[in-house]
Every structure is written in structure tokens, then in C-alpha cells.
Amino acid sequence: MQPGATVFNTVPAGPPSADHLQAAPSFPRKPEQAQRKWRTPSDLPQFKLCVIRSRAIRSLRVFSPAHLSWWYNLPTSLAMTERSSLSQTFIEVIAPDQSCQAIAITVSPFPIGRGETENSVPLADGRISRRCAAIVTEGSSYRVEDLGNRYGVFVNGVRVRQQQPLRDGDTIGFGIEDSYRVVFHVGVATDAGEPDSVAHLLTRIGTFSDFTAPASSGGLSKLNLLLEATSLLHSQLPLDSVLGSMLDHAISITNADRGLLIEPDAMGVMRIHLARGSRSDNLPVETLSPSQTAIQQALGRQSSVITEDLHLAGLDLKAAESIVVQGLRAVVAIPLYASARAVADTDGNLQRGSLLGVIYLDSRRIAAFSAIDRQILDALAVQAASILDNARLVEKERERQRMEQELSIARNIQQALLPQGLNDFPHLAVTGVQFPCTEVGGDYFDVIACGEDRTAFMIADVSGKGLGAALVTTMLPGVFSGLTMGAEPVKVFSHFNRFLCNHAQVGRYVTMFVGMIGEDGVLEYMKAGHPAPLLLRGGEVSEIYGDGSFPVGLIPEAEFELARLQLEPDDTLILFSDGVTEAQNVHDDLFEISGLIRALAGKQNLSVEALKQSVLDAVSNFTRGAPPSDDITLLVVRYRATPPGSHSTIDSP
């Protein structure tokens, strides 16, 4: 880089003290010797510092007219010339990767092109000519000259014919969409290394005179739009109203004809969610045809596509059908992503959030965007993404709360379907319990009286877990109640088997054990793919063996049969689901049938309630805090051969 090009490292924030002025050195000849600018003394009454606090804005300097006039009334010996450290004319060089560098214009002509030896601003792009352009000073005015660049030189999208006067904020391009841009400024150079925060953008909008101009001037107008956009983050308005206002701001900045918010649907297809016109009016989305080429380019790059003149864009974009048919000349497509979140990898990188949508703007007129315009668009896009991301998170939270409420209702209904008052059966003492491993479970048990001398009981386990299994369990009470009408268990559950098989889309089957005990102690039972109950008799524990069958709802042709067993007084049946025997500890060991037998052996003198609790305690001690992997259900049935009105020596009714 030539000595005439000086990179400014700091920003002069106010008038220097008298001591600083007297000691001010001459302008250094090398960039690395650049003098740091003075900071504002805190004791100057004419300087005001206003702090605005919000999510996006940290601080903003506000200058009084008297303070501003100081910059323009310096003595000649102190104000120096264009080569002084207070030079107010500079360019902002924006690289293809969007990095920025502010360079003071200190010589005339001020050459720009490829190569470092002959150019004050070397551009590392092989498509740009070595002798590309030059900025020339004439008194207090500036112009840019085309020195023969291969693809031409453009100011605000309009090709330069030999030379073109420059005004503050003009953007110089080189006929290549993804190459360097140069923004001309008449103001104070800023530190190119500062982050593009909203506060930083505000300090760069326009020249000093913009801040003292009426609110309708470009600088304060953009300032007002940015502040309004920031305030939308905390708005209580409906979401579409907030997003519509955000689109209106983007349209105002770009002077576009229309603005669209495009969001992916549940299948990932991009669809127009909201459309606004230049008069802040809603447009019918079904009549709009945004440029899919521009949108796909923005999504592919994961960055903004801003084209000021489509006639100068790449062939794929300017020849796109939607652009040609609609006669579009300028297009802006800005992808919106959720906030980046850390990922657990070895590099500790941040992973870009999911795609929220695209802000799309177009116009039938050539546009001219300064660097500030582009940065404000990016800032607006960040605000819009935050609004969409927050709305999405709020909707997810509402959906979670709704699901929790519905699951709570389902759990209450399922618990209400379980039998109540289990001890009130002739000749039987009964108790049971069910613990679902999720909010709702797929296990079920029931006990009903079938006439004066018979009692039926069942335990069932629906395949799978959670809400799907729980829905099938709600059918079981109705099926089981058919036994109260004198129907035989085989007929009832054969009919239920065919019903489930005919509705295969349900995708569930049921294992079950159904038994009926009469006053004489005869047990009739049907086993359909369920674990056989244990029989506790005289302190000994054994399994009830008998012919079984397929689970209900698995095979349409399945046949079910009843088996019989004579019970003795105080014989106890322990029915259980596989959540008991398959309970796991922290070492992934199973409780198994052997663990259940050990928990029951020698405890014939315990009541059914105490026996149930003994099993639950044994399972709990075995798992030692490991979370259950399946529903746990127990049903304990004891036969009491005692006349009505008398009491068993072990259980009371």
C-alpha cells in the first residue's frame, strides 16, 4: 500500500485538550506510525453522552451544535490539510468475505486496482484490472475515474463514463457481484476492527451534518428505523403485526416495491408467510412470484444476496424467468437463522441455528446501497430472526404445556378406570397397584363380580409404552365387563382378538391373564401370551402352568382355551407384568422370576397388602434408584373359604 493511504485505528470522539493540541505532531508517513486520536475530556460541558440500554444498543454519542462547530473552525495550523491526522475523507473497502477496512484519502489521484506497487488501495481479485480506477480531488470535491477496468466501474449501480462526481455514501463497484466494494465517505474514519453492533452502525450513519439536520434526513431517518426495529423485540403486538412492521422498515431502507417473509413449512418447502407493499399495505401472497434463484443463492451461501442492478448480475440470476417476466432490476434476499448454539465437539465450535426464513425484497428500479444500508439490512435481519426464534420457542413452550396438560388428563382418566375397593369381594381378598414408567402406561388390571358366587380378575400388558399403549388400555374395561353378562371369557376375548386384527393400523397387541374363582375355590383361567402367575401355598412358591395362546390382537386365527385349578383356603395368586421381572439395576441385571420368588417365599401369613408391599420393596432395593424401563403392575388375589359374615385369620374384608 502506498504511503498516501492511511488506515485509521481509532475514532476521534471529541475535541482535544489544550495540552494535546499544543503537543500534536505532524501526520506520520507510515501506517504503523499512525497517531492515536484524542478522547473527549469528561469536564467539557458542551459534550453530551447519552446511553441507550436495550438488547442491541449499548451507547450512542450525541453532539451539540457548538461541539460540532469545533471541528470546522480549527486554526489552520492545527486543522492541517488533507494529509493531517484529522482527515475527514476516507473510503471503506468491503472485501468479498464482508470484512471492512477504512482508508484515508491523502493523495490525489488516489489509485485503486490489483497489485500493491502502484495502487493506494490494492484489491486481491484477479478479475479486477491493475489500473482500475482512481479518486481525484478538485478543491473540496471528489470524483472517480474509470482507468480501463475490464468489467467497468460503477457508482451506485450506474456505470461510470470516464468520470463521475462522488458524494458521501456512494458505493463504487467493479462490475463483479462477489468482489470488492468501495464506499466513499466524507467524515471521520472509524476503526475497521470494531464490531458492527447497532451502536457502531449508528455512529456511522451519514456525516456530522446529518445529526444536526431535520429528522427527515437520511442519517436520522435510518437511525429512527433501526431504533424502531429494536423496540419491536419487546412489543406485545401480534406476531404478524411485528413482522409486517419489520418488513416495512426493510422496504423503506431499500426503497423496494415489495417485501416478503418466506418461511419453511413442516415439509421444509419455502412458502410466503407475509407480503407488504411500499405503502405498508398487505399484498395477496398467492399472486406473488419471488425470484427462486436469488432465494436459493442466499440459502446456498448462508448469507445475503444483494443485487443493485440485475443487468450486471451473473447470468444465472439475471436470466431467471421470474426476474425477466416481472422486469425486476434489484433483488435482496437475506436468510434468517436461529441463534447459534454451542455444539459438543472437540473444537468447541458454534453451530448455525436452524433456518427460520428469508426476507426477500425486489424492485423494478435500480437500487443503490451504501455500506451503511447493507449493515442496517443485516441488523434488521438479526432482529427479524430474533423475533421469529422467540416466537418459535414460545410456541414450543405452549405446545409442551398443552401436551403436559393433556397427558395429565389422560393419566387421571386411566387411573379412574382402575378398580376401586378391591377387598369387597366374597371369598377373595384382593389388592393391586400400577406404576406407569411415563405419564400414562400400557398395563391394566381389573376385578369384577360375576354373580353372587363368582369373581373375575385380569391383568393385561399392551405392547409398547406411552400414549399409544394407554389408548388401547381404555378399551379393556369395556371388553372385560362383558363377563358380567354371563359371557364366557373365551368368546369375549376371541371377539376382541378379531377386532384388533381387523384394525391392524392400531399396531398393538395385548398379553393378558384372565381368571374366574367360584365360591368352591375352582379357578378357571385363560392365558394369552402373558407371564404365568405365581401361587403361594403353605410358604411355597410355584408357577401356574397351563396351555397358553398368542397375545390378543396378533393372530386372527388364534384360539383361546380355559384351564382349571382347585385352590385351597388361603392360597394366594400373584399376577404381575414383565415390568416387575425385567426391572434393572444400575449394572443392567434383571430382577427375574427368581427375585420375585425370593420376595414371596415363607410369607404366607402376611396380608395381601403386606405381601404386595414386600414385592415392591424387593424391586426397589434391587434397582437402587435406577429409573424404571417399563410399567410395573401387581395384582394379589387370595382365596378365602369362609362362610359369609365370618373373617379370615389373615385378611379382613
Which pLDDT tens digit goes with each residue over 92-147?
899 887 788 888 888 889 999 987 777 888 898 888 998 899 999 988 889 999 99
Q: Is the dihedral of CA 516, 521, 522, 523 positive or negative?
A: positive
CB 615 within 8 A of CB 583: no
Can you tell me the distance from the alpha carbon of 637 to that of 546, in angstroms, rounded to the nearest whole number?
A: 18
Model pLDDT, residue 423:
65
High-pLDDT (> 90) share of the chain, %: 34
Least trusted range by pLDDT, from 196-205, 511-520, 556-565: 196-205
pLDDT digits (tens, 9 = 90+) for 174-221: 998 888 999 998 864 444 444 444 444 444 444 333 333 343 345 556
Q: What are the residues whose beta carbons fall under 8 Å from the beta carbon of 525, sequence distance 6 or more?
A: 513, 514, 515, 516, 544, 546, 562, 563, 564, 565
* Residue 636 pLDDT exceeds 90: yes
Phi, psi angles (nearest 5°) of residue 558: -60, 140
Strand partners, 429: 638
Query: pLDDT tens-digit profile of 52-79?
Result: 333 333 333 333 333 333 333 333 333 3
Contact 192, 101 (CB under 8 A): yes
- Grid cell for residue 323: 426476474
Residue 651's pLDDT is 63
Domains and CATH numbers, the chain: 5-212 (2.60.200.20), 220-397 (3.30.450.40), 419-639 (3.60.40.10)
> 513: which strand partners?
459, 527
| CB distance 426 to 459 below 8 Å | no
Model confidence at 88, pLDDT cuts 50, 70, 90, reads: low
Rounded CA-CA distance 161/146 in Å is 7
Backbone dihedral angles phi then psi of residue 184, each to the nearest 5 degrees: -90, 135
**How would you label 322-334 residue by residue, b for 16+ Cβ within 10 Å and e otherwise?**
bbeebebbbbbbb
Query: What pLDDT score was predicted for residue 504?
Result: 84
Per-residue pLDDT of 433-470, as tens digits, reads: 999 888 888 999 999 998 778 999 999 999 988 888 88
| 408-431: pLDDT as tens digits | 888 888 888 888 777 668 889 999
**pTM to 2 decimals?**
0.51
- Which 3-state string (H, E, C) describes 274-333? EEEECCCCECCHHHCCCCHHHHHHHHHHCCCEEECCHHHCCHHHHCCHHHHHHCCCEEEE
Any bridge partners for residue 259, and if so which? 276, 361
Q: Given pLDDT bands bounded at 50, 70 and 90, which one contains residue 340?
A: low
Residues in the chain, total: 653
Q: Tell me the Ramachandran region of residue 327: left when phi exceeds 0, alpha when psi lies from -120 to 50, beta otherwise.
A: left
